[in-house]
Structure 1
């Protein structure tokens, strides 16, 4: 509960995660039937890019602020939503982006365990009948709040990775939801500092027997320094039709603008488990 995302809002990892999230939500909205979204680690909802925390790290300057002039191509939809939410003054977190894409028949469940962040998030959506905000551990919410009554939707898992065992908890959570709620799309963010933990994570998922898994990864430099966020990934369970090609276009466009030009930068979309 010590982690505060305000220090990292709008960084390259946010851009990657949220651009892919928007694409997943657009795919869910193709069908007229309602869906629900569970955001297990929701945060504040939106972040002031002029705040001292953000300025101290400068991560938004190397992230979202390099992208805001883009108005066409695979990033255009995501960036239009970011601008509509107040950028460059504010950066929208996942609850705000999700809410912007909900239709009248859809709903959002947002969980946040940090008491101050939860209070801010709850106040933001206080009068919104389509959003429920819970002061709840995100890992516990996977069991308590799935499956959804609509029988379709998206589970977004975005933990801070400040505690030991987060990769193991994530693998177990993916397997749990896949067993309880097969129709759910799961989108699970993870850091890439060096390769060993990521390889172990992918292997654990393969051994769990969960089917239809895709890993989209973006890295700004060779992932060999365990003390540095060199890249990040989004593990997608039950990806929508043609999402693999769409993710590749998004990652290619992100690296073109955000790439560090350091040795080893790149992106990949990899099938971890077959359908």
Structure 2
């Protein structure tokens, strides 16, 4: 699978990833001590839903546009608030077609003392990333391979923070690489939070990822998935997941409120499904 993000910005997979990202950052922001985020495959940082790429697929219409239609239940909206506020800020600054990528969301959530490392290897995308981050001294964009960025920035000096790993899945062995690199990073920094995004096209590959992480003895995992029941004729991605290592306290409880509402609102077929599975929560 080749996940070129410009074609998919604002789709249902982004909604899951970005809503959970903002919840994690909200939890990190509760303590006074600073934190660091390492976004290993950062992308452009900000996307234009009126661009040729986005208009070719229109995937945002079944993603962010669905959430624009009307509010969800009050308990859900309370948890969505950090994400909604960030999207509104991006639109206010860059126009109604703007959709923020993970680096922009991180920058919006960070406090003065927090820091972001955002890695992007593709030269043109890296230029867009640097423009999206601007001259913010809290943020550093690196034009390097994401796996090298992970190896070189763990553990961070803050000793608190998040590693967001969102690879493009261009290589056949990307799931195996994701598992191996996460396990290696966790050995160096076992107390960090790791959020691993993955597409669910091959359920065996997703299961093998979880199995490898578990077999490495990594405890305290939270597996989150949404399946929007995309019709076969439509092609493309129909399910997505996040595996969170060392999830913040109460993130699972929040996901139990968010995921049913999101899966229902984002459904493309009659049988949407979601999964919220804490694994070894006391490990």
The equivalent position to 2:114 in structure 1, one of 74, 88, 106, is: 106
Q: What secondary structure is seen at the aligned counterpart in 2 of 1:249?
A: helix
CA distance in 2, matches of 1:144, 1:40: 11
Unpaired segments ≥5 residues, structure 2: none
Write 1 or 2 for the structure with the bigger share of helix. 2
Q: What secondary structure is seen at the aligned counterpart in 2 of 1:211?
A: coil
Q: Deviations over 1:128-175 (max 9, x none)?
A: 110000001111211111100011000000011121111111111221
TM-superposed CA distance for 1:3, in Å, is 5.4
Whether the aligned pair in 1 keeps the contact of 2:116 and 2:138 (CA below 8 Å) is yes
TM-score by length of 1: 0.93
1:62 equivalenced with 2:62 (yes/no): yes
TM-superposed CA distance for 1:95, in Å, is 0.4
Structure 1 match to 2:274: 267
Unpaired segments ≥5 residues, structure 1: none
The equivalent position to 1:221 in structure 2, one of 229, 245, 249, is: 229
The equivalent position to 1:143 in structure 2, one of 122, 126, 151, is: 151
RMSD: 2.0
Q: What secondary structure is seen at the aligned counterpart in 1 of 2:86?
A: helix
Q: What secondary structure is seen at the aligned counterpart in 1 of 2:244?
A: strand
Alignment size in residue pairs: 272
TM-superposed CA distance for 1:125, in Å, is 2.7
CA distance in 1, matches of 2:132, 2:105: 13
Judging changes above 3 Å, is the alpha-carbon distance between structure 1 residues 29 and 223 closer, same or farther for their aligned structure 2 residues? farther
Whether the aligned pair in 1 keeps the contact of 2:179 and 2:213 (CA below 8 Å) is yes
Structure 1 match to 2:9: 9
TM-score by length of 2: 0.91
Whether the aligned pair in 2 keeps the contact of 1:194 and 1:223 (CA below 8 Å) is no
Q: Deviations over 1:60-114 (max 9, x none)?
A: 0111011124375232331221121117411000000000011001000000010
Whether the aligned pair in 2 keeps the contact of 1:213 and 1:271 (CA below 8 Å) is yes
